[in-house]
Amino acid sequence: DTSWSSDWTLGSVQGHTETTVLGTRSFAVAGKRFACYELHSRSTYRGDAQGTQDTTSCWIAELGMVGTEHQVFKGSYNGVPFDSDVTTTLQRTP
């Protein structure tokens, strides 16, 4: 597996993200198939916002963008809890 990590700061929030390439697969956009790299990232963060973000995405290098992405956020912001589960999918090529 190929992987990398980074530490980051965004305003009053500090975080750490680890990303791993899971492999390659085929993904269709508007009926056309593309090769994509499947990636998984896990971020942990602290500060005014605290929690985790897990993201699994399918990066299409030929298009320079994500074909599909699933993000799960869990945590709190200034003490208010949140839980989000979102999937986005590219509907057509640019």
Tens place of pLDDT per residue across the chain (94 aa): 699 999 999 999 999 999 999 999 999 999 999 999 999 999 999 999 999 999 999 999 999 999 999 999 999 999 999 999 999 999 999 8
CA separation (Å) from 6 to 53, 77, 83?
14, 22, 24
- C-alpha to C-alpha distance for 44 and 8, rounded to whole angstroms: 10
- Taking the mean position of all CA atoms in its chain, how far away is CA 29? 19
> Each residue of 64-86: pLDDT tens digit?
999 999 999 999 999 999 999 99
80-89 β-sheet, strand order:
2-10, 13-29, 32-47, 49-60, 65-77, 80-89
Confidence (pTM)? 0.86
Token digits for 82?
Answer: 């949140």
* Mean pLDDT of all residues belonging to the chain: 96
